[in-house]
Structure formats: C-alpha cells, structure tokens
Amino acid sequence: MIEDEITLQDKLEFFHLVFAEEFDSIFSADIICCEKCVDEFIKYWPGIYINDQNFQTYSIQISSLYSMMRFCDFITEDEFNQFSSDLVCPRCNHELRGVIYPYNMPFNVPYEFEQLIGEIAKIAHETPFLLLANPFALEVFQEITKISQTIEPEILSDAVFRARIFHNETVYTAADFFAPPKEKVAEGRYNHAGKQVLYLSEEPETCFHELRSPQEGVMIANISIKKPIKVLNLTMQAQESNIINLIRWSSLMSSPNEGEGWHKPHYVFTRFVADCAKAAGFHAIKYPSVRFDEGMNLALISYSDYINDFQVDEIFLFNESNTKIEVLKQRLMESLI
C-alpha cells in the first residue's frame, strides 16, 4: 500500500524536481520562449528565426509533453496538466500554456544583452556617428580588428553572382552588373549613400531571392574576381567569435526588412560594421542571406580597388522555377574594363 502514502504534494515536488531534466533529455535544449513572448524573441533574434531550422521546426504543445516523459507511469495526465500550469517561461515569467519553444542559443548571450540591443538601436537611430562611444560597439570594432590579423587576402576559388531584375527590352552587357554610379547609390546594408559597394551572392538562387524573387526573373552575371581579397566572414561557419555571433544573429545585423519600423536602425549598425571592416583592412564581408536559407552573400566594400579585376564569364536568365533557363551571352573570357 505504499502508493496510498504518496500524496499529491509529493507528486508535485517530484514533478518540479525532474521536469527540467526530463525536458532536457528529450530535446537537449532549454525552453527559450513561450507563445506569449515568441514574437519578442524573434524581434531581437531575427537571424535565428530566419536561418536556423531548429528554431523554426521545434515548437511543441506543453500538454503533448506528458506522453514523452518517463514519469507518466507515476503522474496522471490530469496531474501533469495541473502541475505544469505552475511552470513559468524563463524569458517572460508568464505561465507556460499552449506552445513552447525548445532551443539552445548557439553562443553565449551576455546578461541583459537584449536591453543593450535597444540602447545601440537608439544611438544608431538618433546619433549614428556616436556609435563607437558605446562600449559594445567598441568591442565589435576591436574584435573585427583582431580577426583581421588572422586573415590573409586570397583569390576566391569560386565565381560569384550578381543579378538585375530582368527587363525584356534591355540588351545586357557585363557593365550592367557593376556597381551603379556614385550619384545613384542610396544607403544600403553595407554602404553609405554615394559609396559604391558591389553586392554579390555565392549562388544564382540567392541573387534571385535577394531581389525578392521577381516573376519576370533576373538576369545574372557569373563573375570571377582576379585579385586576392580579404573577407570578413559573418556566416554560420564563423562561430569562433562570440561577438560576431551576437551581432550576426541579433536584430543588430539581421533585419530582413529595410526601413520597417523598429528594424530601421539596423542598417546603421551594418554600415558601422562595414566601416570597422574597412578600417581593419578587409575588402569584403561575407554574410548569410536573410531571404534565402543557406544562401551566402558577399559585399565587396572596397569596390573601387577591384574595378579592373572582374571577369564576367557568362550572363544568363534565371526565373522562379529556380533554373538557369537560357544562356544569352557567349562566355566573355576577358575582363571587360
């Protein structure tokens, strides 16, 4: 009759004792947010939402955890539902109801970092020239300078691609794929107004999606850069720097929509990073696409130093079926400038 002696209070204590451990053994993750605060999480960490399938695919109803947990022989489903209503979200302290999001941040997030993001966004918005006065922004500059000392310029082994929205009446030449003239250059992700930066992608698909997948397709140039290039790598593979990860995955750098409300200041921060990179001797910044999973982009920030070193190997039309459908130009085997 031992079972009769186990009270509901005992079960509740047992539940709280083992819940986190059981949860971790199932998901190998923490609860990162709940349905009440997931939108706020994504606002601060858009890079994680956009680029990490683990975050996008792992959300679960808290009620469905019951059958997965080893204590289901000991605690009834009703008891589980009753006990789990005491659990609170580690992010917003709201009681956990409905859907929860198991996830491990793939880098260390300093205490109150999201508050820091807000402070930096405020400076970027109100007094952008003073960004370096912020201690974290200074750390970013120092980190990029430090990384620069470990990287040598290299010839890119693969071609890169640049696209224009396809217009039927245009006869495309290699010159159409170089940076626009200075007087036409508006502020961009990695360039100040009037500063030419060549935005390239590592895959034709990425070019297409970066231009928002136009129905009429895009004309793409396959470009080789013939001079060694020193690249600041901000992609998933470059995880050794916690500071780079923090800026890369947070709203500081991963805003998918330029000029949209709260996200607007982040183009200032990316331009700040471009300035840091340029001052540290980098010629280009490699960064993941926010519009195409696994797509990689390359912003050539030292464009004017490379203007005689491009070779356009072919120009082709690419459409929404994601296929290269027509080679319109013969291979152009020589640099065209």
Nearer to Zn ion, 89 or 220 (CB): 89
* Rounded CA separation 139/152 (Å): 22
Position of minimal CB gap to Zn ion:
89
* Rounded CA separation 219/43 (Å): 33
List the 99-103 sheet strands across, edge first. Answer: 30-34, 99-103, 60-61
**Shortest Å, Cβ 62 to Zn ion:** 12
Nearest in space to 277 (alpha carbons), one of 256, 295, 299, 293? 299
Nearer to Zn ion, 34 or 300 (CB): 34
Nearer to Zn ion, 38 or 234 (CB): 38
**Stretch of 33-41, 141-149, 247-255, 265-273 contacting Zn ion, by CB under 5 A:** 33-41
Nearer to Zn ion, 102 or 217 (CB): 102
**Shortest Å, Cβ 42 to Zn ion:** 12
Residues 152-211 close enough to bind Zn ion by CB under 5 A: none
First vs last C-alpha separation in the chain: 91
Token pair for 334:
């020589």
Nearest in space to 148 (alpha carbons), one of 44, 282, 249, 273? 282
Residues 86-145 close enough to bind Zn ion by CB under 5 A: 89, 91-92
**Shortest Å, Cβ 61 to Zn ion:** 15
Cβ burial, residue 129 (10 Å; 0-12/13-18/19+): exposed
Residues 240-279 close enough to bind Zn ion by CB under 5 A: none
**Shortest Å, Cβ 97 to Zn ion:** 10
**Shortest Å, Cβ 200 to Zn ion:** 39
CA-CA-CA-CA torsion for 128, 131, 136, 141, nearest 10 degrees? 110
Nearer to Zn ion, 44 or 292 (CB): 44
**Stretch of 28-36, 143-151, 276-284, 324-332 contacting Zn ion, by CB under 5 A:** 28-36
Cβ burial, residue 263 (10 Å; 0-12/13-18/19+): middle
CB 234 within 8 A of CB 246: no
**Shortest Å, Cβ 113 to Zn ion:** 17
Nearest in space to 236 (alpha carbons), one of 51, 46, 28? 51
Q: What is the DSSP letter of 291?
A: S
Instruction: Say whether residue 34 binds Zn ion (CB under 5 A).
Output: yes
Nearer to Zn ion, 37 or 273 (CB): 37
**Stretch of 50-58, 84-92, 252-260, 329-337 contacting Zn ion, by CB under 5 A:** 84-92
Nearest in space to 40 (alpha carbons), one of 319, 299, 262, 264? 262
Q: Distance of CA 16 to CAs 88, 100, 170, Å? A: 12, 17, 68
Is residue 33 classed as helix, strand or coil in its secondary structure? strand
Contact pattern from residue 289 through residue 328 relative to Zn ion, giving x for each residue in contact according to CB under 5 A and a dash for the rest = ----------------------------------------
Residues 224-243 close enough to bind Zn ion by CB under 5 A: none
Size of the site for Zn ion (CB under 5 A): 7
Nearer to Zn ion, 92 or 185 (CB): 92
- Contact set with Zn ion (CB under 5 A): 33-34, 36-37, 89, 91-92
